[in-house]
């Protein structure tokens, strides 16, 4: 089955042949005494989970992003329990399902927790996500095998959560903000990865949680305005962070981020020129260097075979950069 890239959001196309791959185990690791990471998973054959970061605050834990699959939300809840603190607040970096999918489970386990995010989800519900729902329904209709329908049905169930995926507190501007009693710096970008992307800087630990403004093994361009994204990376570079947690992939130091940013710029430049798609793909792998491990190269190539043509399709990009 072939579909135009625009019709298959969330890297569904490269994942289709292997959608039933085995789940990936996740355990929390300590980034600083007050900060733990529940790593997401982004592997061929499965829709991704974004990374989640847990920050200890006076009123309980702040959880930044909640993953997509139930087992990721479960890992966050287990990490909170092991830490002996309730989840007091959630911050979502953006509305993609691999970052907000666990919100309903966390709300159920910790009633009263406040979710903070940009206002972009509401618009996505009637736009991008409504189209995604229609595509899932079509895929189910075209898939006679009930077992193979399961991943699509799971996505529909997530979409059915509706408002439970969205924020209680809407970020309308960047700046200092106290969440669960801890002072944080919040950035608001967009259009970049989505129409409204939030990043979180914790001055106490100098950890910057970037969401999908930084993703490995490649930038995930499904809903992106690339030029706005590049500008947002410039603002991240001005933050005095020591360690940056990307939306997908392992934490980076400043040198790793600088390399990512340069590779991102190179990819955009290549896509804007006359080089073949394959040259842009190899250029990304060359510029990203050790950020993409040998074991991830084939996966990175397959993703970019999908994303580079997206970068060369001017009309959808214009619309997204105009905020629609």
Q: Which is nearer to Zn ion, 88 or 155 (CB)?
A: 155
Q: Which is nearer to Zn ion, 10 or 182 (CB)?
A: 10
The DSSP line for 121-161 is HHHHHHTHHHHHHHHHHHHHHH---HHHHHHHHHHHHHHHT
Residue 129 CB-density burial (10 A; 0-12 exposed, 13-18 middle, 19+ buried): buried
CA dihedral (68, 87, 31, 53) in degrees, to 10, reads 30
Residues that bind Zn ion (CB under 5 A): 50, 96, 98, 212, 247
Residue 280 three-state SS = helix
Minimum gap (Å) between residue 276 Cβ and Zn ion: 28
CA dihedral (269, 247, 281, 311) in degrees, to 10, reads -50
Minimum gap (Å) between residue 181 Cβ and Zn ion: 28
Q: Which is nearer to Zn ion, 180 or 245 (CB)?
A: 245
**Residue 28 is encoded by which pair of tokens?**
């929390």
The answer to whether 207 and 245 are in contact (CB under 8 A) is: yes
Q: Which is nearer to Zn ion, 19 or 56 (CB)?
A: 19
Q: Which is nearer to Zn ion, 189 or 212 (CB)?
A: 212
Nearest to 116 by CA among 186, 36, 209, 182: 186
Minimum gap (Å) between residue 97 Cβ and Zn ion: 9
Minimum gap (Å) between residue 278 Cβ and Zn ion: 25
Minimum gap (Å) between residue 69 Cβ and Zn ion: 13
Q: Which is nearer to Zn ion, 104 or 246 (CB)?
A: 246
Q: Which residue has the tokens 């991704």?
A: 48
Q: Which is nearer to Zn ion, 229 or 270 (CB)?
A: 229
Minimum gap (Å) between residue 245 Cβ and Zn ion: 12
The answer to whether 265 and 230 are in contact (CB under 8 A) is: yes
Minimum gap (Å) between residue 142 Cβ and Zn ion: 26
* Residue 123 CB partners (closer than 8 Å, separation 6+): 195
């Amino acid at each position: 089955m072939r579909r135009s890239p625009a019709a298959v959001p969330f890297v569904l196309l490269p994942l289709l042949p292997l959608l039933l791959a085995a789940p990936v185990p996740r355990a929390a690791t300590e980034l600083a005494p007050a900060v733990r990471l529940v790593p997401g998973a982004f592997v061929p054959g499965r829709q991704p989970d974004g990374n989640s970061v847990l920050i200890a605050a006076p009123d309980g834990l702040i959880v930044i992003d909640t993953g997509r699959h139930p087992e990721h939300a479960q890992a966050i809840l287990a990490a909170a329990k092991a830490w002996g603190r309730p989840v007091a607040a959630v911050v979502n970096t953006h509305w993609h399902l691999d970052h907000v999918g666990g919100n309903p489970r966390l709300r159920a386990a910790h009633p009263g927790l406040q979710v903070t995010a940009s206002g972009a989800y509401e618009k996505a519900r009637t736009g991008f996500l409504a189209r995604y729902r229609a595509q899932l329904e079509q895929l189910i209709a075209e898939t006679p095998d009930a077992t193979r329908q399961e991943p699509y049905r799971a996505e529909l169930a997530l979409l059915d959560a509706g408002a439970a995926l969205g924020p209680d507190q809407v970020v309308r501007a960047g700046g200092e903000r106290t969440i669960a009693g801890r002072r944080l710096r919040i950035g608001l970008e967009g259009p970049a990865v989505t129409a409204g992307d939030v990043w979180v800087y914790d001055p106490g630990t100098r950890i910057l949680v970037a969401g999908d403004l930084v993703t490995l093994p490649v930038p995930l361009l499904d809903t992106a305005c690339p030029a706005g994204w590049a500008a947002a990376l410039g603002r991240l570079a001005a933050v005095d962070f020591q360690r940056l947690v990307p939306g997908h992939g392992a934490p980076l130091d400043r040198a790793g981020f600088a390399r990512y940013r340069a590779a991102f710029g190179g990819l955009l430049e290549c896509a804007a020129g006359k080089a073949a798609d394959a040259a842009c793909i190899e250029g990304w792998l060359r510029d990203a260097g050790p950020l993409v491990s040998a074991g991830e190269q084939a996966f990175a190539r397959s993703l970019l075979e999908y994303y580079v043509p997206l970068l060369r399709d001017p009309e959808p990009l214009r619309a997204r950069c105009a905020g629609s």
